């Protein structure tokens, strides 16, 4: 009986930690819209973000995409379809693909860019999703991508929160 309650308490703590990390990431991201639709359409404030658990991206891909060519290549290789239109003169896309070797299913969240010296840092976090599995977990290309305003004449980098809930 004690063992069962201990397992239950652990699951509850993991669930609360996951919810806390998701809320933390949501607060850090702010809710400021970004105007980054392609030049052909009239720019309107939008929050452009893509998340999912299935992609063809077998290897981890964690970087800032800054060009139309790299964006198109990523979408063609990961999803076998054309990329959404982004104005890369004004925007960049933070991309986190965990690949097919990921050890668990995570929720992936981004914080707003912050300056650090002469670079802008976009942090991302992983919140472990509690699963009750009947068989071993098998990754299938989970990902998150989010559009951010470009900071002219400054490099932008992507790094994981130190407090991220990645299994180690």
Q: What is the pLDDT of residues 1-47, one digit of tens each?
A: 444 445 544 444 454 444 444 434 443 444 344 556 555 444 434 57
pLDDT at residue 129, rounded to an integer: 76
Question: What is the DSSP secondary-structure string of the chain?
Answer: -HHHHHHHHHHHHHHHHHHHHHHHHHHHH----B--B-TTSPP--B--EEEES--S--S-EEEEE-SHHHHHHHHHHHHSSPPPPB-TTTEEEEEEE--TT-SS-EEEEEPPPEEETTEEEEEEEEEEPP---SS-------EEEEEEE--TTSEEEEEE-TT-----
pLDDT at residue 46, rounded to an integer: 55
pLDDT, mean of residues 112-135: 85
pLDDT of 61 > 60? The answer is yes
Q: What is the pLDDT of residues 34-59, one digit of tens each?
A: 556 555 444 434 579 999 988 999 99
């Amino acid at each position: 009986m004690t063992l069962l309650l201990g397992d239950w308490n652990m699951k509850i703590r993991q669930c609360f930690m996951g919810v806390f990390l998701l809320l933390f990431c949501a607060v850090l991201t702010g809710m400021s819209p970004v105007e980054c639709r392609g030049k052909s359409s009239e720019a309107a404030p939008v929050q452009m973000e893509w998340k999912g658990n299935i992609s063809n991206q077998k290897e981890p891909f964690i970087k800032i995409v800054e060009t139309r060519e790299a964006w198109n290549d990523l979408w063609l290789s990961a999803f076998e379809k054309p990329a959404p239109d982004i104005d890369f003169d004004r925007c960049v896309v933070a991309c986190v693909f965990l690949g097919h070797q990921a050890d668990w299913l995570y929720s992936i969240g981004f914080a707003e860019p912050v300056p650090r010296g002469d670079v802008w840092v976009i942090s991302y976090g992983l919140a472990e999703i509690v699963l009750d599995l009947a068989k071993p977990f098998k990754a299938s290309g989970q990902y998150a991508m989010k559009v951010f305003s470009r900071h002219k004449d400054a490099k932008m980098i992507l790094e994981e929160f130190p407090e991220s809930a990645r299994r180690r």
